[in-house]
């Protein structure tokens, strides 16, 4: 039996715009990959296309969920794009596995919060960090008191000086671990 499908002009326009968007996304991806060894100015363009294509937005255009945090069925398109990204990287001569590094850069450029392990941003408060490290050292020395080794005996000689430094910085020596 023959079936007739009626496609409205609105549906045709929507289909064209989706196809155009995907074409531009692929172009932005390939531009980013081509620019990796250069200045990398196309990273922002690719990240913008990823956001505009895959971010979940409400009717006002506010982002409900960014593309890089999608899971399950909602992430099917992103996973397909990642596969295309990985394939294009390998076609450009990059080793397998490097795609995760470059994909992370796209996520970061798209607005993903960076993890705290990077040495970026504001430096840590020196006093707070020093007190934490002194506390760690003092607790380690206290735990080693029963070892009766030469190294633990030598470290015990430094204990009082480290306690003075810890207390001078505002640490509470009475709250240290004792054995």
| 140-156 per-position pLDDT tens digit | 888 877 777 777 777 77
Interval 14-26 mean pLDDT: 68
Instruction: Output 100 or 143, whichever has higher pLDDT.
Output: 100
**Digit-coded pLDDT (tens) for 26-77:** 888 988 888 887 765 688 899 999 999 999 999 988 999 999 999 999 999 9
Interval 96-109 mean pLDDT: 91
The least confident of 5-14, 83-92, 136-145, 168-177 is: 5-14
Rounded to the nearest 10°, the torsion over CA 54, 55, 58, 60 is -100
Tokens in use for 45?
Answer: 């363009």
* pLDDT of 14 over the 60 cut: no
CA-based torsion, 126, 131, 136, 137: positive or negative: positive
**H-state helical runs in the chain:** 9-35, 43-54, 76-91, 99-109, 126-143, 150-168
**H-state helical runs in 36-74:** 43-54
- Whether pTM exceeds 0.85: no
List Cα–Cα distances, 38 to 28, 31, 35, 41, 89, in angstroms.
Answer: 15, 11, 5, 8, 15
Categorize the per-residue pLDDT at 11 as very low, low, confident or very high, splitting at 50, 70 and 90.
Answer: very low
Interval 152-166 mean pLDDT: 83
Q: Please answer whether residues 109 and 44 qualify as being in contact, where contact means their C-beta atoms are separated by less than 8 angstroms.
A: yes
Tokens in use for 46?
Answer: 């690719």
Tokens in use for 113?
Answer: 């919060």
**Digit-coded pLDDT (tens) for 109-134:** 999 987 655 555 455 688 888 888 99
Residue 10 is predicted with a pLDDT of 37
- Which long-range contacts does 108-114 make (Cβ < 8 Å, 24+ apart)? 109/43, 109/44, 109/46, 109/47, 110/47, 110/50, 110/51, 110/66, 110/67, 110/68, 111/51, 111/66, 112/66, 112/68, 112/69
């Amino acid at each position: 039996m023959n079936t007739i499908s009626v496609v409205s002009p609105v549906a045709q326009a929507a289909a064209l715009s989706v196809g155009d968007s995907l074409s531009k996304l692929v172009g932005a991806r390939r531009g980013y990959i081509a620019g990796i060894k250069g200045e990398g100015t196309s990273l922002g363009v690719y990240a913008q296309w990823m956001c505009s294509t895959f971010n979940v937005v409400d009717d006002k255009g506010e982002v409900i969920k960014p593309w890089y945090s999608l899971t399950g069925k909602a992430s099917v398109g992103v996973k397909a794009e990642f596969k295309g990204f990985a394939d294009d990287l390998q076609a450009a001569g990059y080793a397998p596995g490097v795609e995760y590094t470059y994909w992370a850069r796209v996520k970061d450029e798209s607005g993903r919060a960076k993890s705290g392990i990077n040495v970026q941003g504001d430096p840590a408060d020196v006093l707070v960090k020093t007190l934490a490290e002194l506390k760690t050292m003092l607790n380690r020395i206290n735990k080693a008191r029963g070892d009766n080794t030469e190294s633990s005996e030598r470290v015990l000689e430094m204990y009082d000086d480290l306690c003075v430094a810890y207390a001078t910085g505002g640490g509470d020596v009475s709250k240290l671990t004792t054995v």
